[in-house]
């Protein structure tokens, strides 16, 4: 039970000491900070206890360059089970909890799915009382802030720390030193509590900040050389200054490698220090007490670094050290896109981390010898060498240096085994596993859709579904219950009204909550095919122009996506969609039947408003390209049918909820594999009715790309091809007609309101599999070998 009197007193006390203010004069952000700190104080005892309880059992560590945590306040109040009480306390102080929640900046320390998955896992592990600690980087600036100017994406630095950071504690006493050939840095830990839902366990997310060994050069300062005096400090702090967006430029390479080594080395030092505290130098016990998960290849440098620590510092002999390493580490692959597989120039490694490079050389040498002994051919060995043509192949190092490699959805894992990593699978068949992704039901339903959440609890007469998501399947029995179905529709309507209002304030665009909300939110990438959606909209618009009486359900198409700053084509797609929005939203002749909105700065907190308000979820990636997707699951959990391809986790979602309750279309992976060498998009361009008309808007003057050449580039990417890519590499033209037909089916199905509500209900009822609680338990049992320890 929350002591509300004490909480009030604490808020006032913190406002007085931190801001020298009484509550009536305090700004919203000051109130937010005071409340957050007061809540932090409540966690101290359980946090300490959790650490103590975990200390004598096996623990797992999640090494990730990204943790896309989003906002903390609302989630922590929910998980502590005090949301409603705190809301009342604030009311008594004349404060609206929504205002306080909205002032919080997102901790946007991730690019997209991979970082958000890490955040969901942290929530699930704490909730399931699993001893899991996250290790990463405390970037001073997370993913850039996006706005649109004249329809073009503009990036600005994200300053998430501007109001302070009440949810972290700096732990100077645990600082470690990370050494590069050219400098040494302090890695200062900042710990964030990860509060489990309705359990007392509190786990830890430990993020390191880079600092110089000395604050500034006093002698230089004394001789008035101020710039040079602080130069070292700045260079050191650069290492944790900013999160790299996917596909960043070459200049960033050195810094990025420094980031990877920085946090990995700090994490391992921290871990080894902790191990020695309890078990001394008996490294034979290491794998018995530690499991380390490498989130994609970004932290894979941990493998040679750990070998270095064991061999150079702890004097363990090579064979034994390697055995400990392989048994301790495991690796998750998150993508099959070739261009996303990390490779590093050996020169960079030699320059920055000579000893680590040497160790990789030895690992590789021994591996090549092993393959030779197994009778592998010269060519095959070349294709599997860790160092090949002066590049270090991080994924190869990862598979070779760990005991488990997993994909993130069934289809994805099958592609890894049978295609992308076939040779590796044949070499190490027992190492390959599938762990289908999941999402936390706390943030993605209980917190972001309190209306639906409350209704579910009422229907099931229990809120146990929040930690046991499979319980949602009991909802199926209401599939024929008109009043339940109508209530579902009412809740959706309410969420749409709320979103509509938010969009009006933030984007300055009016949307009609009575129209069908069709939403595609995810990073902007060609394979995700926002362009297919755009063509579909344009086609619908032209059909409406031809026939103003065309009977369609009014629709609002909503997009949210950031494009990597250096990804020209992705930025072209944003501009194109904004041009389409401009044309359609200003054309009175179609009497508001369609509307297009590209919301700015899509991020976790915006997502929490979008998912609950969707009527249809767009998951239309080229089959075989999306490893899993997790946004798809967030829509499903909020009772939204999917229009999508057979890709990633979509496959498993429709297997659960029924194909009849979703709108699956498009070429399957197997078909695309077969035709990819001979595919000619011109055939479709010439023969599919209406297709030429929409594709040609890229070059016929319908739209203006401000002389950037963006639209022509898009056009060429579809029809011309180049030495480095085939025309229409992502089969947009091929899938266009089927996509349009699937959209027409959505339109028809939506008219039958109860039939539609039934589809929504069935998706909700069968979303249970996609809880990250299920995923994290699988990692715990099948990869890490850890058990729940409740305090």
Contacts of 112 (CB under 8 A, 6+ apart): 68, 246, 522, 523
CA 185, CA 306: separation in Å to the nearest integer?
18
- If binding is defined by CB under 6 A, does position 304 make contact with ligand 26V? no
Annotated catalytic residue 630:
yes
Residue with Cβ nearer ligand 26V (300 or 544)? 300
Which of 7, 63, 114, 718 is close enough to bind ligand 26V by CB under 6 A?
A: 114
- If binding is defined by CB under 6 A, does position 521 make contact with ligand 26V? no
Annotated catalytic residue 634:
yes
- If binding is defined by CB under 6 A, does position 341 make contact with ligand 26V? no
Question: Which one of 4-12, 308-316, 330-338, 485-493 is the stretch in contact with ligand 26V (CB under 6 A)?
Answer: 330-338
Residue with Cβ nearer ligand 26V (595 or 634)? 634
CB atoms under 10 Å from CB of 699, counted, come to 14
Task: Write out the H or E segment, with its range, that includes residue 186.
Answer: strand 184-195
In the complex, what is the shortest distance from the CB of residue 520 to ligand 26V, in angstroms, rounded to a whole number?
14
In the complex, what is the shortest distance from the CB of residue 343 to ligand 26V, in angstroms, rounded to a whole number?
11
Where do we find the tokens 């929490």?
Answer: 608
Radius of gyration of the CA atoms of the chain, in A: 27
- If binding is defined by CB under 6 A, does position 626 make contact with ligand 26V? yes
Where do we find the tokens 């505290």?
Answer: 277
Within positions 672 to 731, which residues make up the interface with ligand 26V, using CB under 6 A? none
Output the DSSP codes for 336-387: --GGGS-EEEHHHHHHH-HHHHHHHHHHHHHHHHHHHHTT--HHHHHHH-SE
- Select which of 256, 487, 634, 759 is catalytic: 634
Look at strands 67-70 and 107-109 and give their pairing.
Answer: antiparallel
Q: At what angle do helices 73-80 and 28-54 cross, to 10 degrees?
A: 50
Which of 182, 251, 339, 546 is close enough to bind ligand 26V by CB under 6 A?
A: 339
Look at strands 616-619 and 642-644 and give their pairing.
Answer: parallel
- Select which of 334, 417, 487, 759 is catalytic: 334
- If binding is defined by CB under 6 A, does position 335 make contact with ligand 26V? yes
In the complex, what is the shortest distance from the CB of residue 628 to ligand 26V, in angstroms, rounded to a whole number?
4
Within positions 414 to 443, which residues make up the interface with ligand 26V, using CB under 6 A? 437
The alpha carbon torsion through 655, 659, 664, 670 (nearest 10 deg) reads 50
Residue with Cβ nearer ligand 26V (565 or 648)? 648
- Select which of 145, 258, 287, 523 is catalytic: 523
Annotated catalytic residue 175:
no
Helix, strand, coil % (nearest 5) of the chain? 55, 15, 30
In the complex, what is the shortest distance from the CB of residue 268 to ligand 26V, in angstroms, rounded to a whole number?
23
- Select which of 127, 630, 642, 645 is catalytic: 630
- If binding is defined by CB under 6 A, does position 343 make contact with ligand 26V? no
Q: Are 356 and 394 in contact (CB under 8 A)?
A: no
Tell me the CB-side half-sphere exposure of residue 683, using CA atoms within 13 A.
6
Q: Output b/e per residue, 233-272; b: 16+ Cβ within 10 A.
A: beebbebbbbbbbbebeeeeeebbbbbbbbbbbbbbbbbb
- If binding is defined by CB under 6 A, does position 618 make contact with ligand 26V? no
Output the DSSP codes for 536-602: HHHHHHHHHHH-TT-----EEEEEE----TT-HHHHHHHHHHHHHHHHHHT-GGGTTSEEEEEESS-
- If binding is defined by CB under 6 A, does position 186 make contact with ligand 26V? no
Pattern of binders to ligand 26V over 62-101, x per CB under 6 A? ----------------------------------------
- Select which of 37, 400, 528, 758 is catalytic: 528
Contacts of 18 (CB under 8 A, 6+ apart): 30, 33, 34, 37
In the complex, what is the shortest distance from the CB of residue 384 to ligand 26V, in angstroms, rounded to a whole number?
22
Question: Which one of 211-219, 355-363, 366-374, 624-632 is the stretch in contact with ligand 26V (CB under 6 A)?
Answer: 624-632
Beta bridge partners of 146: 155
Which of 155, 238, 247, 712 is close enough to bind ligand 26V by CB under 6 A?
A: 247
Annotated catalytic residue 22:
no
Contacts of 657 (CB under 8 A, 6+ apart): 636, 762, 763, 765, 766, 767
- Select which of 145, 522, 625, 769 is catalytic: 522
Residue with Cβ nearer ligand 26V (114 or 584)? 114
Q: Are 523 and 562 in contact (CB under 8 A)?
A: yes
Question: Which one of 55-63, 90-98, 217-225, 625-633 is the stretch in contact with ligand 26V (CB under 6 A)?
Answer: 625-633
Question: Which one of 108-116, 179-187, 284-292, 633-641 is the stretch in contact with ligand 26V (CB under 6 A)?
Answer: 108-116
Residue with Cβ nearer ligand 26V (117 or 732)? 117
In the complex, what is the shortest distance from the CB of residue 527 to ligand 26V, in angstroms, rounded to a whole number?
8
Where do we find the tokens 């998009």?
Answer: 681
Which of 70, 74, 108, 112 is close enough to bind ligand 26V by CB under 6 A?
A: 112
Which of 178, 627, 714, 791 is close enough to bind ligand 26V by CB under 6 A?
A: 627
In the complex, what is the shortest distance from the CB of residue 565 to ligand 26V, in angstroms, rounded to a whole number?
12
Annotated catalytic residue 575:
no
* Residue with nearest beta carbon to ligand 26V: 113
Within positions 631 to 660, which residues make up the interface with ligand 26V, using CB under 6 A? 648
Annotated catalytic residue 128:
no
Which of 293, 578, 628, 717 is close enough to bind ligand 26V by CB under 6 A?
A: 628
- If binding is defined by CB under 6 A, does position 408 make contact with ligand 26V? yes
Residues that contact ligand 26V, how many (by CB under 6 A): 21
Residue with Cβ nearer ligand 26V (631 or 639)? 631
In the complex, what is the shortest distance from the CB of residue 132 to ligand 26V, in angstroms, rounded to a whole number?
17
* Strands of the 663-664 sheet, one edge to the other: 594-599, 555-560, 516-521, 616-619, 642-644, 663-664
In the complex, what is the shortest distance from the CB of residue 553 to ligand 26V, in angstroms, rounded to a whole number?
30
| Angle at CA of residue 783, ends 779 and 784, nearest 5° | 85
202 closest CA partner among 305, 294, 135, 125:
125
Residue with Cβ nearer ligand 26V (398 or 594)? 398
CA 316, CA 282: separation in Å to the nearest integer?
10
Look at strands 184-195 and 202-212 and give their pairing.
Answer: antiparallel
Where do we find the tokens 């049918």?
Answer: 641
CA 450, CA 428: separation in Å to the nearest integer?
46
Which of 220, 255, 340, 362 is close enough to bind ligand 26V by CB under 6 A?
A: 340
Calculate the alpha carbon distances from 778 to 205, 221, 406 in Å.
21, 56, 11
Pattern of binders to ligand 26V over 523-562, x per CB under 6 A? --x-------------------------------------
The residues that touch ligand 26V, with contacts defined as CB under 6 A, are 112-114, 117, 246-247, 296, 334-335, 337, 339-340, 408, 437, 525, 626-630, 648
Catalytically active residues, by annotation: 334, 522-523, 528, 630, 634
């Amino acid at each position: 039970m929350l002591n509300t009197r004490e909480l009030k007193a604490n808020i006032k006390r913190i406002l007085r000491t931190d801001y020298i203010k009484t509550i009536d004069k305090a700004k919203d952000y000051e109130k937010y900070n005071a409340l957050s700190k007061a809540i932090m104080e409540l966690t101290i005892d359980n946090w300490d206890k959790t650490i103590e309880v975990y200390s004598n059992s096996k623990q797992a560590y999640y090494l990730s360059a990204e943790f896309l945590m989003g906002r903390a306040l609302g989630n922590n109040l929910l998980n502590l089970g005090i949301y409603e009480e705190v809301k009342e306390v604030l009311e008594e102080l004349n404060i609206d909890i929504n205002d306080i929640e909205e002032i919080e900046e997102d901790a946007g320390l991730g690019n997209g799915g991979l970082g958000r998955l890490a955040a969901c896992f942290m929530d699930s592990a704490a909730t399931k009382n699993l001893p899991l600690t996250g290790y990463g980087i405390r970037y001073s600036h997370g993913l850039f802030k996006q706005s649109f100017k004249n329809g073009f994406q503009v990036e600005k630095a994200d300053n998430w720390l501007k109001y302070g950071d009440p949810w972290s504690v700096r732990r100077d006493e645990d600082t470690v030193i990370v050494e590069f050939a050219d400098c040494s840095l302090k890695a200062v830990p900042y710990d964030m509590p990860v509060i489990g839902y309705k359990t007392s366990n509190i786990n830890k997310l430990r993020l390191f900040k880079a600092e110089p060994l000395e604050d500034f050069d006093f002698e230089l300062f004394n001789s008035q050389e101020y710039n040079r005096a602080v130069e070292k400090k700045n260079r050191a702090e650069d290492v944790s200054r900013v999160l790299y967006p996917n596909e960043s430029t070459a200049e960033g390479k050195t810094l990025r490698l420094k980031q990877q080594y920085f946090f990995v080395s700090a994490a391992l030092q921290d871990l080894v220090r902790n191990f020695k505290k309890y078990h001394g130098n008996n490294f034979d016990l290491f794998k018995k007490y530690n499991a380390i998960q490498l989130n994609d290849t970004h932290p894979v440098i941990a493998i040679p670094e750990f070998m270095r620590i064991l061999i150079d510092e702890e004097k363990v002999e090579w064979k034994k050290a390697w055995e400990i390493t392989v048994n301790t580490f495991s690796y998750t692959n998150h993508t099959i896109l070739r261009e996303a597989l990390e490779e590093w120039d050996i020169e960079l490694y030699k320059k920055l981390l000579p000893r680590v490079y040497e160790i990789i050389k030895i690992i590789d040498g021994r591996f090549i010898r092993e393959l030779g002994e197994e009778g592998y051919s010269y060519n095959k060995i070349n294709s599997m060498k860790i160092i090949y043509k002066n590049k270090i192949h991080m994924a190869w190092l990862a598979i070779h240096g760990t005991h488990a490699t997993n994909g993130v959805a069934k289809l994805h894992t099958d592609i890894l085994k049978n295609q992308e990593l076939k040779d590796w699978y044949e070499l190490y068949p027992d190492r390959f596993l599938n762990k289908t992704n999941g999402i936390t039901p706390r943030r993605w339903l209980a917190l972001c859709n309190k209306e639906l959440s409350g209704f579910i609890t009422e229907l099931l007469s229990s809120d146990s579904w929040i930690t046991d998501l499979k319980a949602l399947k009991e909802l199926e029995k209401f599939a024929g219950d008109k009043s339940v179905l109508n209530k579902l529709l009412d809740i959706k309507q309410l969420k749409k009204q709320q979103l509509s209002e938010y969009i009006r304030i933030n984007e300055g665009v009016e949307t009609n909550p009575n129209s069908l909300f069709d939403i595609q939110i995810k990073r902007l990438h060609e394979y995700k095919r926002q362009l297919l959606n755009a063509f579909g909209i344009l086609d619908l618009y032209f059909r409406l122009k031809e026939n103003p009486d065309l009977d369609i359900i009014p629709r609002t198409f909503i997009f949210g996506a950031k494009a990597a700053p250096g990804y020209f084509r992705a930025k072209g797609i944003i501009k194109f969609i904004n041009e389409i929005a401009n044309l359609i939203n200003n054309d009175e002749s179609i009497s508001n039947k369609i509307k297009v909105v590209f919301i700015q700065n899509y991020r976790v907190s915006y997502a929490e408003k979008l998912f609950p308000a969707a009527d249809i979820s767009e998951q239309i990636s080229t089959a075989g390209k999306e490893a899993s997707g997790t946004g798809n699951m967030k829509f499903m959990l909020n009772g939204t049918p999917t229009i999508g391809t057979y890709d990633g986790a979509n496959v498993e979602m429709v297997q659960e909820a029924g194909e009849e309750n979703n709108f699956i279309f498009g070429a399957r992976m197997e078909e695309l594999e077969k035709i990819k060498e001979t595919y000619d998009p011109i055939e479709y361009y010439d023969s599919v009715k209406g297709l030429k008309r929409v594709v040609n808007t890229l070059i016929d003057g319908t739209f203006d790309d401000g002389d950037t050449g963006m639209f022509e580039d898009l056009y060429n990417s579809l029809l011309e091809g180049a030495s480095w890519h085939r025309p229409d590499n992502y089969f947009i033209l091929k899938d266009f007609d089927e996509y349009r037909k699937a959209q027409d089916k959505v339109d028809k199905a939506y008219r039958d309101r109860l039939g539609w509500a039934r589809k929504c209900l069935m998706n909700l009822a069968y979303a249970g599999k996609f809880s990250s609680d299920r995923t994290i338990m699988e990692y715990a049992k099948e990869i890490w070998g850890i058990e729940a320890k409740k305090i």
